Every structure is written in C-alpha cells, then in structure tokens.
Structure 1
C-alpha cells in the first residue's frame, strides 16, 4: 500500500455525513470511523473491536485511550516527519485528552488533512497553524514500509 493509495482511499470518504460511532462510507462516520474505514479498505480487518463510546469519552477520566490504541497498532513518528497518509491525532483544547483523528493528504505549502468533523461530515481541511498546534502525535499505518 502506497501513501498515495491511503490518501486516495481517504478522499473517497469525502462527503460522508458525520455520525457518531459510525464507520460506513457514504452513510456516516466519525473521525475514528473514518480511520477504521480506511484501515479496512487498505489493510484488512480491524485489529481490535471498538467498544461503544460517548461524545466526551475519556475526558472525565483524563484517559488517553485513543492515544494508547494508536500506539498498539501504528508506528509513532516525529511530529515534523510529515508524509501523505500519516494518521494525525489531535487535542482539541490544550490540556485535554487527544481524541480527534485525521489522515494527512497534502504536505508542504499545500498541507491538508482529511477528517470527519461534527457538523461538516468528512472534509479535507488545510493543515493550518491552528490545526498544527493541536497535533498530539503522528503515526504511520502498518501498510507502509516502517
């Protein structure tokens, strides 16, 4: 699986409505569901079952559940080692748990990422400075040469 194939797969989800806990292209997904769907399309079966989760999951306990799951299944990369196809994990507020995901599409002057965003569905957004400041970690999916 090439990095470009990951981006192509992610772009195939653009326009999918935002639906919490869903992971069905064209029907609905959230940010985790988008990454799960890309995983299924490009790698195969998901590596573990996802338990039900609330919209504020992990926040009351300060639990980095999504971060730990990412470490179990992907290779962590330095934040400045950006490449198309990287999975980005974001903290939406300083000091909060990391709980938003996206897949980097463009790099350099045209840096962008694809994510499922509440109220917008799956979109490609510029990886602007405000978004970059929120990146908690960067990962490579196991389809790439690590």
Structure 2
C-alpha cells in the first residue's frame, strides 16, 4: 500500500460537504484530493476558488481537468497504480467533474472518493466506473 492510499483511507467516513476539505468533518471529491495533497506537501499549490457542483458544465470548460494537469503528473490511462488520482466524466458530452484515488488495482480494483449524499467511501472500480475515467494522474511526491 502506498502512502497516498493510506492517507486517503484515513478520510473514509468523512461526510460529504461541498467545497470542504476537513478530514472527519466534511469534504467533497476535490476536498479529499486536496487533503491528501496537504498531508504530502504541507500546503496547497494554489488557492482554490469557489466552485459550483456543475464544474462549469454549462460553459463546457474543463476547469477541474486543467487544474489537475497543472499540479499532478499525467499518466497513460492503462498504467494503473494504487494512489493514482482518477478523473471521471459522469456523462458523455459533459465536463469531467469527479475525482477519486485508486485504492487497489487488478481484479479487485477500488477507488476512494466522496460524492453528494454519501460519506467518503472505498468503492469497487466496476466497469461502469472504469468507462467514465478520462484521465489518470499521480501525486508529484508519490514514491519519493
């Protein structure tokens, strides 16, 4: 298990709270990734502006993808590793607006994520979820 996976699993059970990133109190999918980033790096790479739950979907702007590309290390989709940050497109034609962290790979693949109405959980990376992955990243310090 990687340090990233261990850190992400510490957030399991944290209630969903839009625009929050406080372990045990509340977070959304971005808040989970930001919380893990802070544990690894001590501070955020840039201020996070307020954002809506639609992630600029009406405008078609890939705001979340662009931010991930600025601060995380992009990798090929087929190069799966525990601790990867996964970016999902929830519907065809919509912007990518959900994040998770790979927990396990292989036959029992899983990912850790927060989503509206739930707490942070580790879910099976089932075929429907896999089909939604549009980008894969690693944290800059992963493996260091």
Q: Give the TM-score band, short-chain normalised.
A: over 0.9
Shift of 1:110: 1.2
Partner Cα distance (1:69, 1:57) in 2:
12
Give the alignment partner of residue 21 of structure 1, picking from 19, 22, 28. Answer: 19
1:8 aligns to what? 6
Partner Cα distance (2:76, 2:55) in 1:
26
Partner Cα distance (1:12, 1:124) in 2:
11
1:95 aligns to what? 93
Partner Cα distance (2:96, 2:128) in 1:
15
Partner Cα distance (2:108, 2:44) in 1:
31
Partner Cα distance (2:126, 2:76) in 1:
18
1:38 aligns to what? 36
Secondary structure at the aligned position of 1:121 is classed as: coil
Shift of 1:145: 5.1
Runs of 4+ in 1 over 2 A off after TM superposition: none
2:133 aligns to what? 135
2:75 aligns to what? 77
Partner Cα distance (1:145, 1:18) in 2:
29
2:65 aligns to what? 67
How many aligned positions are there? 144
1:108 aligns to what? 106
Q: Is residue 82 of structure 2 the alignment partner of residue 57 of structure 1?
A: no
- Runs of 5+ consecutive residues of structure 1 not aligned to the other structure: none
Partner Cα distance (2:42, 2:84) in 1:
17
Partner Cα distance (2:130, 2:34) in 1:
22
Q: How high is the TM-score relative to the length of structure 2?
A: 0.97
- Over the aligned positions, Cα root-mean-square deviation in angstroms equals 1.2
2:142 aligns to what? 144
Secondary structure at the aligned position of 1:83 is classed as: coil
- Runs of 5+ consecutive residues of structure 2 not aligned to the other structure: none
